[in-house]
Amino acid sequence: MRIGFHVSIKGSIDQAVDRAIAKGYTTFQIFTGNPRQWTPRKLASEEVEAFVEKVKTSDIDPVFAHMPYLPNLASPKEGGHAKSCATLNAELRRCSMLGIQNLVTHLGSHLGAGKRTGQKRIITAINQAFEDANEDVILLLENTAGGRNTVGDSFENIWSIMQGLTYPERVGICFDTSHAFAAGYDLRTFKSVEETIQKLDETVGIKKLKLVHLNDSKGNLNSRIDRHEHIGLGKIGENGFRNVLRSRLGKLPLILETPKDTRRSETENLRKVHELA
């Protein structure tokens, strides 16, 4: 399995590779800057070169980046939407500079303007970013848990967005198991996992699936609650993850975003995944 966690870039961005190697990850995910700021610090050429070289000489492949928290691509507010578009543009360029081929993005909230309006705003943002940042980076659209005003809680919803894109070949899917379960996609039995995969294939297409965020869910099936849990300790449960890991989903790169608390460490979650697989 290609498996890892979201890793800190504290100090310099190349140190994320050191941390991933030290923990035995074969893939990992990062923010390229402070996720709580609109304008990230400029990356020094030395750390960019070190990042690229360290990844190249390691067994880690692929590497993923994640969009920061503040952007909302679905926002109906002109100012916020413009800043979100600029951030997406900048992140695509930073990924290209670092040799990162995949950038994960949340689809955001329509803030009460309606799902269709939110979809149109996302389409505009992505099309604009692809025109401005002509980089060879795949943008991965992440499914959501379906909370209030969110966009992207169903495969059909994501497919509607993809249909409006000028460059659909530059877009893929990041499938979050916790979000999917909260949105109503059952992952507890082998049959329900296969049915979910079939639904995804019939809409966006299984070839578009590039990454799995492997997280258990604190909320029940169709709860619309976006709260991650340690592997096997949530409502999907150990048997659910056995079925997920033995399906086609288990053959994709797996990034864990489990809680940071005293109940279980990242190493223990990693061990649990290998045990269930």
Hey, which residues are catalytic here? 36, 66, 69, 106, 142, 176, 179, 213, 226, 228, 257
Q: For residue 232, what are the contacts with CB-CB under 8 A and spacing of at least 6?
A: 216, 238, 241, 272, 276
Which helix (H) or strand (E) segment is 161 a member of? Answer: helix 155-163
* CA 128/CA 64 separation, integer angstroms: 22
CB 161, CB 123: distance < 8 Å = yes
> How does DSSP assign 213-240, residue by residue?
E--EESSPTT-----EE-TTTSSSHHHH
Other Cβ atoms within 10 Å of 189 Cβ, number: 12
Other Cβ atoms within 10 Å of 45 Cβ, number: 9
Torsion sign across C-alpha atoms 150, 152, 258, 63: negative
